[in-house]
Structure 1
Amino acid sequence: MRETLRVQLWPLPTLGVALAAVAGVGLPQLDARIQLDPPTWLKTYLFSGGPDAARSVLSAIAGSLVTVTALTFSLTVLTLQLASSQFSPRLLRTFTADRHVQATLALFLTTFTFALTVLRTVRTGKDEQTEFVPQISVTVALLLTLASLLALVLFLSHLARELRIETMMRSVHSATVHTIHRLLPQQQDTAGRDSAAGNASGATPEPPANALPLTVSASGFLTSMDEKALLRAAVEADAVVLIDRTPGDSLVAGTPVGVAWPRPGTHLSSEARARLVGRAAAAVSIGPERTDREDVAFGIRQLTDIATKALSPGINDPTTAVHALAHSSALLCELAGRDLGPRMLHDDQQRLRVVLRRPDLDELVTLAVAQPLRYGAGEPAVLARIAALLRELAWTAPPDRHPPIAGALARLRSTIDGQDLDDTEHVRLVELTRLAEEALAGRWPPGR
């Protein structure tokens, strides 16, 4: 629920409208209490016009704010459409989760609602009514209008900056780094972690042939897993649970997300099996789209989408693809130093209970390189950047993670050899692959 609300445009504006309605009712009552004897210092700053002037001011504020709000919504929708068609549909979350956009819309709607609510309290003294001008309320409405004008200028400046593809990629990069730091410990620190709450050394257990399939009841994308609930379910059933799907994977209702089996010397009754399947399914959160809450590969997926979109014939922007590969390289180098092994949860007696699979470096490298290599095979700049990516990754990754890099390097060489490149380009690309090989061997000679 929290993740869903974070990427929606309506929660913050709705809260602003509610608060404005309450303030629009309560503040005029405060006006009525102090109207007869306001402090001298306060009179200088308060609205001093009569009922007609107050109504004109509040009507102008309400009318203008409706127009400005409609303009802001239109610009936001235009930005979303541009980001979806020009770069990637998966970038829409970046805009809808933008607090600047949400706060600007909330301020506009708050000002409109407050002015409209206060307008109903202004009385002209006709028809046996007592004349009443809520001076404090009208003054607050004027201040909110000035704040809205400033917010409009800042919003336009912010929107112009956010429309740049470099800003989008930097936002994706920052969000992914935050997810990596939050979920994955440094590789050298994993051995000292509390095994009851995190990782522990040891090989992933092999499930028996008669292991119990753990199915899901809904279709969608795996967004997160409740580790505590899975651990409690495994302990209660005295079983071992293996979840072999990772956040970001597509799930289909009725298909297994993992398996479970009893510990040696124990047995799972039919009642315990049914209860374990139900509790495991409840611990797996499924949503209509991928999120960066626990999906460390989602940022690379977005950057790869940007790169492949830029390489399409309709756009033909290899420079953007090269920049996207640079961000992917930085993220892969960050991931190379993190613990990408399966996450193992133990009970209080240090017995293995839950195993959660994570994407390994081979999957992540393939995700970052395969599609740009396919669609940018004829562009030397893209091939050169992929070679540089593999060189950078080879230098930062520990030796035990070199095989997937070597495999990607072999695919790159095969692609280069299969292209109709002139001799100069071919020699340069071959030299870059040689430098990547040197990095795999722990050497970083200067390029020629």
Structure 2
Amino acid sequence: MFLSYLWKLRFFTRRFWVRAALISSFSFIVAACAPLSGFLPFGLNDRIDTEALSQLLSILTNSMLAVTTFSLSIMVTAHLAADANATPRAHRLLQEDGRTQTVIATFIGAFVYALALTVMLNADLIAEGEVGLVYLATVAVLGVIVVAMLRWVAHLVGLGSVEETIRRVEESARRCIDARIDSPFFGGRELTFVPDDVTAIRSPAFGYVLSIDTAELQRIVAQRDRKFYLACKPGDWVRPGTTFGWISGDGLEADERSALVAALAIGDRRDYDRDTSFSLVVLTEIAERALSPGINDPGTAIDVVGRLTRLLWAIPVEREMAEPTAPDVFVLPIDLSEIMFRTLDPIARDGRNFVEVQMCLQEAYRTLASHDRPAAGKMAAELSKRLEAYCRNEVMLPEDADRIADSGIGRSEDSH
């Protein structure tokens, strides 16, 4: 249950207004501490009057309004560029960019801070002899704004570009894969079979599986000395009645069934956090967009294929932890073959007229054929044959098609 609440808290803090509200609330804290101005050393409180504070707040209010408006316009333009040139799914990843949210929230928060203190000052809620601490706090806010501006300028260099978007999506995929490496089977055990004496637990709604709280499932089943067998994974589409798992035994009570269902988070859109394949699919979509006739950019597709190869190679052969955190929860292993098919085959299909893209894909297949998972080698060989078929069924010079076929798995190895 704690992990479920923590996951919801992470989503809550990603909302833009949350950060802006936290910074804006600083004005009320400063106003409440204003009576402590008399304790400032070196007689600072006596050197600062209301007029000096009012001028400083006026400068801050006017400048932050312009800076915030300008920054928001840049952010919207960058997001629209990523949406148009990459993929709408990458646009959602940019929306959750912590640095962009923090910088713009700082600007908005500083504006609200100065505006709120100006109102308090004009309403005589801050006494004449209590402005010293407020003035120093405002100077500190100015320092924070300067740092935020410098970070914002450095951040704008690649914001919204295709290369920067690809890098962010790859980082998201890397984090998800690393999390799965650190916690194989989400802390549970590998699901190899499902016994007969089980009770199905079904999904209550339409949507994508966003997160599965295996710790909560473990807590529930441990109370009854049962086992739970997961039939789905983050990223799967479910509908009302879809079986997402089985619990051993029968005689399941209604509240226990509700608790098991509550451990499954369902949403209307896939999420980057725990969905291992989602970021990889988004990279594929970027490559497909680059290969479209309107853009015609095979270089981007080749870049994506290289990144996908690195990420797919990093997906490990999962082995159970020595001491699983959820020993009574059984989870399906990552299906690397399925991920390979869903990510690399669409690029081969849409890039069938680009010799350089096909050669790059054949190199990727040869690399993945030596993966520790035997199934990955079989899938790589199948994808290599499909790529050859794509080329021969399209308008391509016979010699180019032969080059691609000769570089495929099997033929290239025989030639060495």
* TM-score after normalising by structure 2: 0.85
Deviations 1:233-282 (A, max 9, x none): 444555543322211011112332233453xxxxx23xx26455433212
Is 1:425 the equivalent of 2:412? no
How much has 1:334 moved relative to structure 2?
0.5
Q: Distance in 2 between matches of 1:237 and 1:133?
A: 63
Is 1:360 the equivalent of 2:335? yes
Is 1:71 the equivalent of 2:70? yes
Is 1:385 the equivalent of 2:370? no
**CA 1:389–1:51 in 2, change beyond 3 Å: closer, same or farther?**
same
Is 1:199 the equivalent of 2:189? yes
Partner of 2:309: 329
Is 1:162 the equivalent of 2:159? yes
Greater Cα shift, 423-432 or 223-232 = 423-432
How much has 1:290 moved relative to structure 2?
1.6
Amino acid at match of 1:148: I
**What is the DSSP-based 3-state SS (H/G/I as helix, E as strand, rest coil) of the residue aligned with 2:137?**
helix
Question: Equivalent of 1:16, from 23, 29, 35?
Answer: 23
Q: Distance in 1 between matches of 2:25 and 2:232?
A: 42
How much has 1:146 moved relative to structure 2?
4.8
- Identity across matched positions, percent: 22
* TM-score after normalising by structure 1: 0.79
After superposition, residues 16-415 of structure 1 pair within 5 angstroms as 16-23=23-30, 25-31=31-37, 33-34=38-39, 38-39=41-42, 42=44, 51-120=50-119, 122=121, 132=129, 134-184=131-181, 198-199=188-189, 204-208=192-196, 212-236=199-223, 239-262=226-249, 268-269=250-251, 272=252, 274=254, 277-335=257-315, 337-339=316-318, 353-399=328-374, 401-415=376-390
Greater Cα shift, 73-82 or 130-139 = 130-139
5+ long unaligned stretches in structure 1: 263-267
Deviations 1:299-356 (A, max 9, x none): 2111111111222223222221211111111111101x331x89999899xxx84322
**CA 1:346–1:82 in 2, change beyond 3 Å: closer, same or farther?**
closer
**CA 1:53–1:275 in 2, change beyond 3 Å: closer, same or farther?**
closer
Amino acid at match of 2:237: S
**Contact 2:203-2:242 within 8 A present in 1 as well:** yes
How much has 1:158 moved relative to structure 2?
0.4
Amino acid at match of 1:87: A
**CA 1:354–1:144 in 2, change beyond 3 Å: closer, same or farther?**
closer
After superposition, residues 428-439 of structure 1 pair within 5 angstroms as 428-434=403-409, 438=413
**CA 1:121–1:199 in 2, change beyond 3 Å: closer, same or farther?**
closer
Amino acid at match of 2:59: A
**Contact 2:27-2:117 within 8 A present in 1 as well:** no
Q: Distance in 2 between matches of 1:434 and 1:87?
A: 31
Q: Distance in 2 between matches of 1:71 and 1:217?
A: 44
**Contact 2:14-2:98 within 8 A present in 1 as well:** no
**Contact 2:317-2:373 within 8 A present in 1 as well:** no
**CA 1:7–1:308 in 2, change beyond 3 Å: closer, same or farther?**
farther
Max radius of gyration: which structure?
1
**What is the DSSP-based 3-state SS (H/G/I as helix, E as strand, rest coil) of the residue aligned with 1:285?**
strand
**Contact 1:122-1:134 within 8 A present in 2 as well:** no
5+ long unaligned stretches in structure 2: 1-7
Q: Distance in 1 between matches of 2:130 and 2:36?
A: 12
Q: Distance in 2 between matches of 1:241 and 1:144?
A: 52
How much has 1:226 moved relative to structure 2?
1.6
Greater Cα shift, 383-392 or 109-118 = 109-118
Amino acid at match of 1:300: L
Number of aligned residues: 408
**What is the DSSP-based 3-state SS (H/G/I as helix, E as strand, rest coil) of the residue aligned with 2:200?**
strand
How much has 1:364 moved relative to structure 2?
0.8
**What is the DSSP-based 3-state SS (H/G/I as helix, E as strand, rest coil) of the residue aligned with 1:257?**
strand
Deviations 1:67-88 (A, max 9, x none): 2112222222222222222211
**CA 1:136–1:237 in 2, change beyond 3 Å: closer, same or farther?**
closer
Q: Distance in 2 between matches of 1:229 and 1:283?
A: 6
Q: Distance in 2 between matches of 1:10 and 1:347?
A: 35
**What is the DSSP-based 3-state SS (H/G/I as helix, E as strand, rest coil) of the residue aligned with 1:213?**
strand
**Contact 2:35-2:130 within 8 A present in 1 as well:** no
